[in-house]
Structure 1
């Protein structure tokens, strides 16, 4: 690989680690960069290499959050365990569903998320512990470890954002604690998908490990910044990432 392409990927991996650590959505940067820098690689190989880099970053962010903030392990733990299996199923199905089939639905969901967060400025700024009932906790586990994990294994970008919104709206976590929980589940989805992609030979190991080192650096910076600046900062970054995802998917859909 020429130095310019390698530099592009390492820079994208660092930025993706920062974005993933704060709100998720790093795949929005890293997947296009992989497809540009390695044009002959199959999409599954790009997805697998992205998962290799991302699992190091999300695991680093998860450890940083666990040491410095509160995590609802009774929800995040089971969701992460289930997510390993479900994301593996999603990875096995990756490529069987054309982009045209899922892109409009994901785009509509992202627009709804952007409107929901914008029209409710207090959402996620303060925890609502009264909302965490056993039924809601079970629903959060099913949504995060089931539906969102399946999406991550098949497609990926925006997973962390969806996880944060799930934990915020369903069990009343604030954005900072929801982001911490999301990292644990996202580490599980990355592991499940990586196992499947690796078993089918769809991982560029040397490149992926180099990107992983940069992803870890970005994740350390992002997670510490989120913890220091709090829920309001996470909310602002979340809106920016959601809008960027809308622009990217909208461009792909209509051009």
Structure 2
């Protein structure tokens, strides 16, 4: 049964922290998902993942709105990317049963290591926008490709989606970290909506718990976007490196544990 419990009181500060971190550069799932699995062990993994999506959508929607008021978003590119993300996030979530997630973990670990090392070596990466002189067609093509890739990944697996998106927008479109994060929130929201739709149809969402966590997630997102607006791209770059490092540690621990099991 889905109702307010003492366990929920433990989840609310976790949801706040997740919203705070996620609004800055992504990675809220590193806090929220383990928290749900630890505090509500009696629920199925699908139910906990669906509840996480509901909570995350609330904070991500607010963060997207806050960023859109400050940053000019490239909607001509984003429209196609949003549709691709929505469709392929559902496809990714549907494919979970076809390929065990553990096979993806080592690949993602290598990718994240490359991203954090590259960011540390390129000290000016994402500090200032770079004009890549992309045509409108090139922007739309890159947006579609990004939507397909991130939709599949987020629906199938998910951890680190926001950080991967931010890095991709810096490299593929020449954005600084502030603008990249603003654009990444839009696609992150689309991916969450697609996955939540599937979880909802399968009755794998604790709606009461998810909504209350979502309100806490919103409060965290408002604090996070305020900090981003105040400190800008250099602040996001530091948070980005921290979140990537935390993700790598978690992936390494989980991968070793799987191979030793």
Q: TM-score, normalised by structure 1?
A: 0.95
1:137-158, Cα deviation, whole Å (9 max, x unpaired): 1343133211111111111111
The superposition leaves residues 222-244 of structure 1 with CA deviations (integer Å, 9 ceiling, x where unpaired) of 11211221111110000000000
Contact preservation (8 Å) 2:76, 2:140: no
Question: What's 2:145 paired with?
Answer: 143
What corresponds to 2:210 in structure 1?
A: 208
Whole-angstrom distance in 1 between the partners of 2:122 and 2:137: 24
Aligned length, in residue pairs: 254
CA–CA separation in structure 1 for the residues paired with 2:30 and 2:145: 22
Q: CA deviation at 1:37?
A: 0.9
Partner residue, 1:35: 37
Counterpart CA distance in 2 for 1:149 and 1:183 is 13
What do residues 90-118 of structure 1 show as CA deviations (whole Å, max 9, x unaligned)? 12223443232111001010000001100
CA contact (8 A) 1:131 1:172 kept: no
Deviation for aligned residue 1:24: 0.7
- Return the offset for 1:10: 0.9
Secondary structure, counterpart of 1:85 in structure 2: helix
d(CA) in 2 for partners of 1:245 and 1:179?
Answer: 17
Q: Matches of 1:40 and 1:96 in 2, distance apart?
A: 25
Q: Distance in 1 between the 2:136 and 2:90 partners?
A: 27
Comparing 168-177 with 97-106, greater Cα deviation is found at: 97-106
Q: Where in structure 2 are the equivalents of 1:1-255 lying within 5 Å? A: 2-3=5-6, 5-134=7-136, 136-255=138-257
Over the residues paired in the alignment, what is the CA RMSD in angstroms?
Answer: 1.4
- What is the TM-score with the length of structure 2 in the denominator? 0.93
